[in-house]
Amino acid sequence: MKKYTIGEVAKILALSQHTLRYYEKMGIIEVGRRGSGGVRKFTQENLSQLEYIKALKEIGLSLEEIKTYTTRMREPSERGGSSWRSTEEG
């Protein structure tokens, strides 16, 4: 599975690196393990989540509302796995 640096993600999604760090600090998104030297490594799932977060922001949701929503989406569903993955598949 390909991993992306914060710079790559910023370029792909047209978001600033500062914004990505802020989303992580606020708990809106959870970035997996960091690579050597503490460099953040984003997964394809992270990119999908960020695209969704971007869309929620564009329709007017506040960051607090988005945080509440993304926290719920990370909770395991009754079928197993996260709701993010279930949403992407269904």
Q: Which domain holds residue 59?
A: 6-89
Lowest mean pLDDT of 24-33, 40-49, 54-63, 68-77, name the range.
Answer: 68-77
Average pLDDT value over all residues in the chain: 85
Read off the amino acid at residue 73.
M
Q: 79 pairs with which residues across the strands?
A: none
SS3 43: coil
CATH of the domain at 14: 1.10.1660.10
Q: Count of domains in the chain?
A: 1
pTM here? Answer: 0.77
1 domain-assigned: no
pLDDT of residue 32: 75
Q: Is the pLDDT of residue 86 over 80?
A: no
26 domain-assigned: yes
Stronger pLDDT, 32 or 30, i.e. the higher one? 30
Q: Is the pLDDT of residue 18 over 50?
A: yes
